[in-house]
Amino acid sequence: MLREAAAAFCRDGRTCQVERLGEGNINETFLVRSATGCFVLQRINARVFPEPLTVIENFARITGHFLEKQREHGLSFLMAAPVRTLGGALFHLDSEGSCWRGQSYLAGAPAANLFGESQVMRAGRTLARFHSLAADLDVAQLAEPLAGFHNLPGYMQEFDCVLRGTPRELDEAGRSCLGTINRIRPQATLLEDAKKAGILTVQPVHGDPKIDNFIFSESGAPDGMLDFDTVGGGLIHYDLGDCLRSSCNRAGEKGSDPSAVSFDLRYCRSFLEGYFTGGSTFGEVQRNLIFEAVYLIAFELGVRFFTDHLRGNTYFRVASDGENLARAIRQFRLVEDIAAKEQDIRRLIAAAARQH
């Protein structure tokens, strides 16, 4: 199927070189090299994205909007663009029913490969630029890529349902995860309640701005972002929380030792300074909820990993059973460290906002 898909986008499909690209948890991604250049080929995981055309059309819509803004106002943002099939379509449906799409290949350096305080600050500025460019895009033009995405109360309901149907008894690690979930459960509705009350509003967001999804220009041009699969209407606070969660965890997303997980306050300061320098402003009430966003998004991801572990690893791709449980344990360790540093984090948020 891989060769068939490559041939749909590449005129010399029989001779082009195809290699796996990255280690994403959801989709399968490949780099295609041909005589005419390189592009990224991706098979969309239909188990995760049951309506893959939604993902493809959202990507085309928001990149088109960004390009228009760049032409009109001279703004720059590094991002991929759709690569159409030889027949001019945005996707290829293979003989097994899998949906493939092409994107331009970005030759910059992924942020995760250039980790340091200056890169984290650049990530903050880049996320602010994304939000600024997307702010005037009518959110109604973006379909929902994943039902209930970043809705923590919904994830809690899903967890409860899966837990009730789990035939096996939880081991010590599982019981520890369950204890963390039940302890934090009363706070799970906080951001959704703020949305219902009109304190936080829905607007276009990236949806998955972990540090791996940032890219730095090697030419000195403005930086950008990758992986627009989850672009849609949402809360900016979820983007902020997710980016802080991933960029300030010095142990990284794939560390093997939970005790090494820690929320780095220096990185937090650098990110916030970058974000607020990028032109983003919040009222005091909205600003005060940034801490809750960091805390709850880390908790949310832990819940999702643990739920998938109990369900049999049907959402996040794993190399072996127990990998999602290990991921959940690391996220819950991060939640604990974030909670322990709450006052420090709140002071950093306030200081960054005052300076800009």
List, for residues 11-58, the tens digit of each pLDDT value.
776 678 888 887 666 788 999 988 778 899 999 988 888 899 999 999
Q: What is the Cα–Cα distance from 203 to 41, expressed in whole angstroms?
A: 29
CB atoms within 10 A of CB 260: 13
Show Cβ contacts of residue 298 under 8 Å, excluding neighbours closer than 6 positions.
241, 245, 331, 334, 335, 338
Nearest Cα to Cα of residue 39 among 99, 100, 95, 87: 100
Percent of the chain at pLDDT exceeding 90: 62
CATH of 2-107, one of 3.30.200.20, 3.30.70.20, 3.60.20.10, 3.40.50.150: 3.30.200.20
What is residue 22's predicted lDDT score, i.e. its pLDDT? Answer: 73
Q: What is the Cα–Cα distance from 350 to 40, expressed in whole angstroms?
A: 41
Show Cβ contacts of residue 128 under 8 Å, excluding neighbours closer than 6 positions.
274, 275, 276, 277, 278, 279, 280
In whole angstroms, how far apart are CA 194 and each of 191, 199, 209, 230? 5, 5, 22, 22
Q: How confident is the model at residue 108 (pLDDT cuts 50, 70, 90)?
A: low
Strands of the sheet with 224-225, listed across from one edge: 109-110, 214-216, 224-225
List, for residues 288-334, the tens digit of each pLDDT value.
999 999 999 999 999 999 999 999 998 888 888 899 999 999 999 99
Q: What are residue 86's phi and psi, to 5 degrees? A: -60, -25
> What is the second-level CATH architecture of the domain 110-355?
Alpha-Beta Complex (3.90)
List, for residues 186-203, the tens digit of each pLDDT value.
999 999 999 999 999 999
Domain boundaries, the chain: 2-107, 110-355
Helix or strand run (H / E) with residue 87:
none
pLDDT at 1 over 80: no
Q: Comparing 337 with 10, which gets the higher pLDDT?
A: 337
- Tell me if the pTM is above 0.85: yes
What is residue 258's predicted lDDT score, i.e. its pLDDT? Answer: 78
2-107 and 110-355, same CATH topology = no
Among the listed ranges 115-119, 149-153, 159-163, 218-222, which one has the minimum average pLDDT value? Answer: 218-222
